[in-house]
Amino acid sequence: MSAKTTTMRRCGGNERKYRWYRFQKASAPYIFILPGVVFYLMVTIVPMIMGFWMSFHNWSIIRPTQPWVGLDNYRKLFADPLFWTSMKNTLVYSIGVVPLQMILALLIALLLNTGIKGRKFFRLLYYLPVITPMSIAAVIWTWIYHPNLGIFNQIVRFIGLRPQDWLGNPDWAMFSVILVAIWAGIGYRMVVYLAALQGIPRTYYEAAEIDGAGRWDAFKYITLPLLKPTTLYILVTSVISSFQVFGLVNVLTGGGPLNSTQVAVSYIFKRAFGDLQFGLAAAMSFVLFAIILAITLIQWKFLGKEVTYE
Amino acid sequence: MIKNIRRYGALLLAIALFMGLTCGVSAQKKTTIVHWQHHSPARLETVKAFAQEFMKENPNVKIEIESVPQDDFFQKLLPAIAAGSGPDTFQIPLGQVPAYAASGVIQPIDSRVATTRQIESEFITPAIKRMKHNGKYYGFPVDVQTIVLFYNPKLFKEAGLDPERPPQTWDELIKYAQAIHKRDAKGITTQMGVGTGGYGPTVITLMLQNGAPLWNTKTQLPDFNSPQAIEALKFVTDLETTYKVEDAQFGRRNDMFRQGKVGMVFGHPAMIGANKTTAPNLEFRTAEIPAPKAGGSRATLLTSWAYVVSSQAESEICSKWVAYLTSAEAQKRWTLTTGELPSRKALLDLPEYKNDILLAPCMESMKKSVPAPWTARRLDDELIRETYQLITLKGESPAAALKWLTKEAVKAEKEQQELARP
């Protein structure tokens, strides 16, 4: 007996009832995901489209009419040296933060995956910066970096070096921001790595041990390859979030001194809300989006093919 | 028959009740004024008190105050205005009034509340000059500030200086600062002579004192390429680079001043309130900023915000509310509670201010104040501070730094002027 016949019988042989039943069954999943889709459209897709439209206008938020300027905003930003400085700074920040954050997170995760005493406490300790609001953490760090009263310079003085104006000197400001970013981001990556480590079956290590493999060999030939999907995930998301850094820079240095920590998003924000150049800021956002997309695709192309999820 | 009478009676009663209710509702209908301003605890308390009094005097008005942190203020205000859900009354920097007025976002002050002539006769010109657009005033001044010199009499005495005689000239300022400044054996500053921080309004003030024009009247754009501006910038940066009486590594000048470790600091009179609150045991004085030479100009830059009325708000009552916030009585309280300076002519010479050791120099500075001629907000501090840093951190010459500043300032000003074009 076919499924249709069974269902028809349940519907009392009524064709209309059967069709209604079929419609309900087919549409139910879509109705369930509808609120999520509408929300996503409202807060992400529609603003994105509007932002793209905005980038072709001389858009001022307080003016009633917004004149169409075509590609003028894109031309302007390509000729703006400060935009490229902010992109360069973003790249420096990304290179400074992402690899170190990943290496340290992996090392801590490996350590906490052993039978070390008090590991629950250490897990909490490393995760604490993740749940600390960035604005509060940044304010605390400005005190740590305080040139005269900060702990950082007290240590520097103690070891006999000359204290620095960590956030006020263009040569040190980016380094100081990177340090805080690493501190703030290790915890989350450590937890992801820890979860992945705990998913590796013990039997692999036991078999390797029987075959005479040492600890380094086990790490190199078992742990690292099996962590590849996790590493790729962390790498891609870390690069994306490092290109979108804003809050930390905004509170710590405001982009200064002399734009030495001016990153792409802080510059976009400044042009939009400081100078009311919303069209230009929208164009900058789309250039940044294109750059992030390109980097992500490159990462997938070169690293993604080696990753298996079995 | 009786049934009919009852029925009609009930109907009449229902109508009467309904009429009574609707009349009551319309009699109680309140106008709500949504008021936004940037936050400080003292400012919020003061405005809340004004709102209570205003509502008492105007029972049909309800005022809803929202105090937004200054860093988030425009991030919240601008989208709200664009979405048509902005406040009825709010504050914006003085220089931005023309752009907002030209865009039709704000409306002129209702003439039933204050006429153009009234406003001009009651307020000092520098505080209202930039608020005039097409012959009408678009706001009332608030958060009016000049630049004055704060000094620590205890450190003066320790350095053998007379605390009753603050420095009168730039040369004296250097000498005083040198007498106060202390370093340890390693050359690290332990007590700082003077602090300017390269703060925009301070640097501009020194340029104004020195007679720098700052504005090209032909092009109607900023111009910092003048010998007077170069000399002023050289003076202020020399404090750090040549005389070494200012040290950026010593920490934030105002924080360190409150800790009693800085002899003199240039700052806004609002610091009086902040100092009293955060460092109640600190003994400090104020003075007019020293002139370039004996008997020279003591002009100071006037910075201010404006209370404005949204174009969508009810004109008369909202104008009345912002006028109330800047009335003579209100300004007296602002001065007392927040350190904001009065901009009404009648208040500057009040004996209570003239005899106040801290406020008297501030009131004098108001009389000599000059508003910035530009509209670009970046010129208020950001670009000036960068110019200062180009010299102190990168070793550029003042002339080269001001050339760069003029280029950037013209670019920023053109952008803002374009926004103000209808």
Range B64-74 average pLDDT: 88
Residue B4, pLDDT score = 63
Map residue B67 onto helix, strand or coil.
strand
Band (pLDDT 50/70/90 cuts) for residue B96 is confident
Confirm whether A175 is domain-assigned: yes
Tell if the CB–CB gap between A274 and B82 is shorter than 8 Å. Answer: no
Residue of A46, A50, A57, A62 for testing the chain B interface, max B β-carbons within 10 Å: A62
CA dist., res. B248 & res. B77, Å (int) = 34
Q: What is the tens place of the pLDDT at every residue in B196-217?
A: 999 999 999 999 999 999 999 9
Domain boundaries, chain B: 32-145+303-371, 148-301+375-420
Residue of B389, B390, B416, B421 for testing the chain A interface, max A β-carbons within 10 Å: B389
| Range scoring the smallest mean pLDDT among A137-151, B19-33, B131-145, B312-326 | B19-33
Tell if the CB–CB gap between B378 and A275 is shorter than 8 Å. Answer: yes
Tell if the CB–CB gap between B377 and A275 is shorter than 8 Å. Answer: yes
Same domain, yes or no, for A235 and A87? yes
Residues of A contacting chain B (CB within 8 angstroms): 58, 60-64, 146-149, 162-165, 168-170, 250, 256-259, 273-277
Tell if the CB–CB gap between A61 and B188 is shorter than 8 Å. Answer: no
Range B388-406 average pLDDT: 96
Residue B25, pLDDT score = 47
Residue A166, pLDDT score = 92
Same domain, yes or no, for A19 and A97? no
Residue of B138, B188, B375 for testing the chain A interface, max A β-carbons within 10 Å: B188
What is the CATH number that goes with domain B32-145+303-371? 3.40.190.10
Residue B239, pLDDT score = 97
Tell if the CB–CB gap between A148 and B81 is shorter than 8 Å. Answer: no
Band (pLDDT 50/70/90 cuts) for residue B26 is very low
C-alpha torsion angle, residues A35, A38, A39, A44 (rounded to 10) = 150
Residue B26 vs residue B155, higher pLDDT = B155
Q: Which among B99, B104, B251 has CB closest to A64?
A: B104
CA dist., res. A176 & res. A197, Å (int) = 31
ipTM: 0.81
Handedness of CA B401, B406, B411, B415 (dihedral sign): positive
Tell if the CB–CB gap between B419 and A164 is shorter than 8 Å. Answer: no
Give me the residues of chain A with pLDDT under 50, please. Answer: none
Confirm whether A62 is domain-assigned: no
Q: Which residues on B lie below 8 Å from A250 (Cβ)?
A: 71
Tell if the CB–CB gap between B251 and A64 is shorter than 8 Å. Answer: no
Which domain covers residue A9, as residue numbers?
Answer: 3-54
Same domain, yes or no, for A32 and A112? no
Confirm whether A257 is domain-assigned: yes
If you write DSSP's letter for every residue of A22-40 in order, what string do you get? HHHHHHHHHHHHHHHHHHH
CA dist., res. A227 & res. A187, Å (int) = 17
What is the CATH number that goes with domain B148-301+375-420? 3.40.190.10
Q: What is the tens place of the pLDDT at every residue in A124-158?
A: 888 888 888 888 898 899 999 998 888 999 999 88
Residue B252, pLDDT score = 87
Contact indicator for A248, A138 with CB cutoff of 8 Å: yes
Tell if the CB–CB gap between B103 and A275 is shorter than 8 Å. Answer: no
Looking at the 3D structure of chain A, how many domains does it have? 2
Residue B256, pLDDT score = 92
Confirm whether A61 is domain-assigned: no
Same domain, yes or no, for A178 and A229? yes
Residues of B contacting chain A (CB within 8 angstroms): 71, 74-75, 78-79, 81-82, 99-100, 103-105, 186, 188-189, 248-251, 256, 376-378, 385-386, 389-390, 393-394, 412, 415-416, 418-419
